Amino acid sequence: MTAPMTALRWSGLKNASVLIGALLVIWQILYWWVGDVALASPLATLRYTEKLVTGETFGMHAYDTLRAFTIAFALSVVIGLAVGFWLGFAKLAGDVLEPMVVALYAIPKLTLYPILLLAFGLGLSAKVAFGSFMA
């Protein structure tokens, strides 16, 4: 690795460290200003995070999340490519469906989550459907 690249890497690391430190200082000052009722301190948050991560259910929940993400990602890629190629190669389909696809971008996707929950329930299928829909 060349010297300028190493210097750039250290510069970026230094900038990230300064930013994280500044955010922690601002967080602590806000905690002192508003108190326990509105905001937890950075130290209390780190302690709670440690307790949560070392708990017995964290691994199970992390696995479920990773599984839902993987399935949703795979479905999104396959469906996205299939629909993209279809709309790109079939001129009539692209002309007809393009306004509908563009209109979907205007809808806040999070507002549709309750409808997906009603349709798919509370399990893995709802997470996968929401992840695929967001993609």
Give the dihedral of Cα atoms 116, 117, 120, 123; nearest 10 deg. 130
Environment class of 68 (CB within 10 Å of its CB; exposed 0-12, middle 13-18, buried 19+): buried
Work out the angle at residue 109's Cα, subtended by the Cα atoms of residues 108 and 111, and round it to the nearest 5 degrees.
75
- Per-residue tokens: 7: 């210097």
**pLDDT tens, N- to C-terminus, the chain (135 residues):** 566 667 667 788 899 999 999 999 999 999 999 988 889 999 999 999 999 999 899 999 999 999 999 999 999 999 999 988 988 888 898 889 888 888 888 888 888 888 888 998 888 898 899 888 888
Say if pTM beats, i.e. exceeds, 0.85. no
